[in-house]
Structure 1
Amino acid sequence: MTNADPQVVRDYYDYVDDEDYESLFALFAEDVTYERPGQSDLSGMAEFREFYLEDRPLEDGDHEVVDLVVDGDTVAVRGRFEGVQNGTAVSFGFADFHRFDDDGDIAERWTYTDRDEV
């Protein structure tokens, strides 16, 4: 049995796009880690909250999930983002991976894009 829930991952993108951060935070474990190659890793809910509430350079955008695959405790996503980054309109592809813990919370998250920062 797996705790990886593709609907939780779809909800994550809806919550980000709607700026419903409290609902978003409820999807993640308190000891969540978030890795974005080329950028600083985030460790723990305090850093994760600070990133989304104060430091995230992307805004006013929409995620489109193109492909979603569940494998064991992980949900992989390929998608597109269109929105604003640091005041400039952007559009780019991304690949995200979400690993769930035994409680059904997202414990680890990885994002890959061709952008310098996201």
Structure 2
Amino acid sequence: MDDPESVVRRYYDLVDAERYDDLVALFAEDVSYERPGQDPIDGRDALRTFYEEGRPLDEGSHEVHDVVVDGETIAVRGTFSGRQGGERVGFGFADIHEFEDGAIVRRYSFTDRDEV
């Protein structure tokens, strides 16, 4: 089993490569993903649907600038560049990933955009 920091770094590689089967496998069955101002995404099935059908970002990549590890909690600061609604976008983000039993059980994303 990989350590939480390695799992989180792999997450960004997988989302950028649109490898959603592998990506969803990083999460616990009862995962909760929260983004300010938007409904939470609860459970692996809903997470898969979000990445395959509901994610407003595409054709993009994440650049991780900082990773802070505090036991089973990993905080990440970085930038994303890609497309949203057909327009080129670039913005900073901060994500928090909480682990239980080697899987991401809660994820929080913060950006300066209204919807991601």
Structure 2 length-normalised TM: 0.96
Percent identity over paired residues? 59
State the distance in 1 between where 2:27 and 2:97 align.
Answer: 10
Are positions 1:19 and 2:22 aligned together?
A: no
Q: Secondary structure at the match of 2:36?
A: coil
Question: Residues 80 and 93 of structure 1 are in contact (CA less than 8 Å); yes or no, is this contact kept in structure 2?
Answer: yes
Ranges of 4+ aligned residues in structure 1 off by more than 6 Å:
none
Aligned residues: 115
Identify the residue that residue 59 of structure 2 maps to in structure 1. 60
Shift of residue 4, structure 1, vs aligned partner:
5.6
Runs (5+) with no aligned partner, structure 1: none
Q: Is the 8 A contact 1:4 1:75 kept in 2?
A: no
Structure 2 unaligned blocks of 5 or more: none
**In the alignment, which residue of structure 2 is the partner of 1:50?**
49
Q: Distance in 1 between matches of 2:3 and 2:104?
A: 8
Residue 104, structure 1, aligned to residue 74, structure 2? no
Letter in 2 for 1:117: E
Report 1:54-93 matches (<5 A). Answer: 54-93=53-92
Deviation digits for residues 43-89 of structure 1 (CA, Å, limit 9, x no counterpart): 11111111001000000001000000101210000000000011100
Q: Secondary structure at the match of 2:66?
A: strand
TM-score w.r.t. length of structure 1: 0.95
